[in-house]
Structure 1
Amino acid sequence: MFSTVDIAIVVLYLAFMLGIGVYTLKYAKSVEDYLVAGRRLVLFTYIPAMAAVVLGGASTIGSGKLGYTFGISGVWFLIMLSLGVIANGLIVAPKIIPLKIKTMGEFLEKRYDRSTRIIGSVVVAIYDLMVAVTQTIAIGTVFSAMLGWDPAFSMIIGGLVVLLYTALGGMWSVTLTDIIQFWIMTIGVLILVPVFGFMTMQSQGLSLSQLPSSFFDWGAVGGDTILLWFMLYFFGLMLGQDIWGRVLTAKNKRVGAIGTVAAGLYGIVYAFAAVFGGMVAYLLFSGGLENPQYALPSFVAAVFPTGLAGLVLAGMLAAFMSTGDSCLLAATSLIVYDVIGSLKKFSERTMLMLLRIFNVLFGIFMIVAAVAISEVLVALDIAYLYLSAGLFIPTVVGLYWRRPSSIAAKLSILASILVATAVALYIGWPYGF
């Protein structure tokens, strides 16, 4: 359990995030401002904003859990995800930034037709909502460990904060909060978790050699699991509107390409820090934690001094919120701008109003679904299953094929989703992942 000072730090952080939402309300005066922050981000703002989108609650809590359960092989989860981000910077970003589009759906219409835009947007919106759900689950996990609150109640509180500041300022709010959240994550998780991990082992006479030998086996998590992560996350990180939306905020092609690759490299380093924290937690608690999802929060609560514990927990919350807000905005933009906006023409003012209304509606869904699912990696697997299966082929063909077929694109999306669902059900969806 954490001290009053630690809790106060986290509460102040949440209040500050809400304050940014109110502040950025005045900047979100157009659809372009609301969806892509006016395309104004330069490298020193783009890199932290992109890294914060990628490294969310599943990356932090999930990697800590994997480190606690499997050891070093748990890094493959985030490595595959980060390699997908690097591939995005090399393959996707240089192609889509010059198009001056706002969404992935808009790209699909440019390369295929309006019906492909609508179908693809619905599929990607489902993915983004499920990723937002994972972040809300992770917020609940940390709040529950920190305050002893019921996990469901914790998800509601954390989810409401994300919902409010995202609905108010759109991409401007998401960008400013993500940049702040990146630095809190870097200090709290990337730096302090390894430092205090080594200090704890030294002070308590613990050693990595006391861990099970399997913890140092790079394949302990299972070759099939590593392959699954590659198929889901490497391809998935080239496709999501949460990632595309951030790419499209870049000032130019150079910023988008270099910044996205840099964010992916950062993610690989972050993987080792989070997994190491889980491994130290295994030593500290002798493998006796009832729920491995609490590995990192429990480690922080046990060894960090007052004040720093609050900072690290704020860093974890920052990781969850920085991805949750982007995914919530992405789902909203796809349904409102790409689906509803394709069916009827709206004025700029009406479109902004619809974007804010649907942000609230999808935010409520995000919270309800998080309470119902409650398992962070299961929710993330479901999300990337449908994104990777449904959109990879038509997106890559659209990027590099001069005359792609709209009929083939729609059939590819629908057939891939049906096959993915059938395979998932066959192996015990969602718990077969």
Structure 2
Amino acid sequence: MVENLFLNLYFLGILAIGYNSFKKIKDSSHFFIANKEAGVFQVTGSLLATVLGSSAILGNVAATYSIGWAGIWLLFCAAFGLFALLPLLKKFEKFKGYNLPELLGSFYGDEVRILSSFIISIAWIGIVAAQIMGAAQIMEIISNFSYFQSVIISGVVFIIYTILGGQLSIIKTDCFQLIFILLGIVLCFLFLPNIETTYVVPQVINEKFSYIDLLILVLTYSSTFLVGPDIYSRIFCAKDSTVAKKSIIISIIILIPLAFILTKIGIFAAGAYPNLTNGQSPLLHVAANTLPKPISLLLYFGLLSAIISTADTCLLTGSSIFTEIFTKNLKNIRSIKLTRVFIGVFGLFSILVALKLKFILSSLLLALSVYSGALIIPCFAGILGYRFKKFYVLSAIIMGGAIALFGKIYGGNHSNYILILAFCINAIILTIGRKK
């Protein structure tokens, strides 16, 4: 099959780039923040490539298929989170660390750094697993591999690529992968036939997606762009705050029309193929049954590029943060070696999760709910200059994360209110322990 040949060449090319970067890594700064030399083009490309993973693209179209035009809120909330981040960029200029737990540790002490490192690392397994699920679904279509084989192959490629090149290879390839991503999505949109016969006013709030659902999406999704490990890892690679600001603005400008495009594809899929089962991806079904062969192939590889860009960033973020539990900082060669070990460990756990769960968006939102319930408010308050007693910060993180996890596992009609309760409990505990 021609598709198999392209797939093999694509993966070999990715691994070759990783090996080339491996030879150029000189110290921890190269491996963890690309030596802090990234310009606007690189940071923008890496930001967007990280945002537009399988959850944002496949998940957006799948959500639209189920809840109509309300699916547009996914990328709107991402853009909103990035917009809210802009006023905070100046506050990072004097920060010399590599990641978010280091930032939290500078606010509240070493115990908070260690606890936040543990929570983020474990939660990020779910996000990496979501990317592996997306890659496996695509590989099933363009190759003769089963879902099981596709999960194993894609997961192993992600692990090896990230181990080799670290941040240096990620920041280098994200820009080119973004071109694949945007080209595939836009051409898919342009080649869709128009099946609508009457104009329907888009209902972005409807019986399947309420204002409470929107509030939960803002709390658990937008907040991770305002205070998120992966987003901050992109910012810390930028030369300065001016580069970071321009990159975020450009990213927002691109995300807004992209939200309309992906939602429109989901609306088309709902109209053209109304009887898809939960296990079928509407976007991949449209590509296989509606688009010309060359366009569908380009879309598949664009989606693979999106998934790889998000997966390697999340895998490196989670593994490097976990390394800090044992090394206290990442500014040494030992940290690189230990992080590479944890990349392999966390990658294998992500593969196991991907084999167990097959719903991309649910895996992502479970991970983000735990993270946001535990860490969003303490981190945001710390950036704004508020300080709290260590015991209360630790208690707020544990209680907020535990309640958020219970809410997602409990499910049902009350899960949203439980998630809101997690944020409220977190804030109340911090307020009690505020330093004068």
Same structural fold, with TM-score higher than 0.5 when normalized by the shorter chain: yes
CA contact (8 A) 1:83 1:234 kept: yes
1:234-287 residue CA offsets vs partner (Å, 9 max, x unmatched): 1122222211111100000111122123223322222222222222223333x1
Q: Compare relative contact order (CA 8 Å, sep 6+) and give the higher one, 1 or 2.
A: 1
Residue 50 of structure 1: how far off its partner (Å): 0.7
CA contact (8 A) 1:159 1:363 kept: yes
Cross-structure match for 1:283: 271
Match of 2:198 among 185, 189, 209: 209
Tell whether 2:127 aligns with 1:141: no
Tell whether 2:226 aligns with 1:238: yes
Match of 2:240 among 238, 241, 252: 252
The TM-score normalised by the length of structure 2 is: 0.89
1:9-408 maps to which residues of 2 (within 5 A)?
A: 9-91=6-88, 93-147=89-143, 149-189=145-185, 191-197=186-192, 200-201=193-194, 206-207=195-196, 209=198, 216-220=202-206, 221-223=208-210, 224-285=212-273, 287-291=274-278, 293-336=280-323, 338-342=324-328, 348-401=332-385, 403-408=387-392
Residue 125 of structure 1: how far off its partner (Å): 1.4
2-structure distance, mates of 1:422, 1:407: 22
CA contact (8 A) 1:125 1:332 kept: yes
Residue 188 of structure 1: how far off its partner (Å): 0.6
CA contact (8 A) 1:6 1:311 kept: no
Percent of aligned positions that are identical? 24
Greater mean alpha carbon deviation, residues 311-320 or residues 252-261: 252-261
CA contact (8 A) 2:3 2:142 kept: no
2-structure distance, mates of 1:179, 1:347: 27
1:364-412 residue CA offsets vs partner (Å, 9 max, x unmatched): 1111111111111111111111111111121112111254432222121
Cross-structure match for 2:428: none
1-structure distance, mates of 2:179, 2:331: 38
1-structure distance, mates of 2:392, 2:297: 52
Let me know the Cα RMSD of the aligned residues: 2.3
CA contact (8 A) 1:10 1:313 kept: no
2-structure distance, mates of 1:403, 1:304: 55
Q: Secondary structure at the match of 1:99?
A: coil
Distance verdict in 2 for CA 1:346–1:422, change over 3 Å: closer
2-structure distance, mates of 1:368, 1:299: 28
2-structure distance, mates of 1:114, 1:242: 21
Give ranges in structure 1 of 5+ residues lacking alignment: none
Q: Secondary structure at the match of 2:24?
A: coil
Residue 106 of structure 1: how far off its partner (Å): 1.1
Q: Secondary structure at the match of 2:339?
A: helix
2-structure distance, mates of 1:373, 1:127: 15
Q: Secondary structure at the match of 2:31?
A: helix
Distance verdict in 2 for CA 1:102–1:217, change over 3 Å: same
2-structure distance, mates of 1:374, 1:30: 38
What amino acid is aligned across from residue 181 of structure 2 in structure 1?
M
Distance verdict in 2 for CA 1:350–1:417, change over 3 Å: same
2-structure distance, mates of 1:122, 1:108: 13
Residue 134 of structure 1: how far off its partner (Å): 0.9
Give ranges in structure 2 of 5+ residues lacking alignment: 420-436
CA contact (8 A) 2:67 2:209 kept: no
1:210-244 residue CA offsets vs partner (Å, 9 max, x unmatched): 9xx6x832113411322221111111222222111
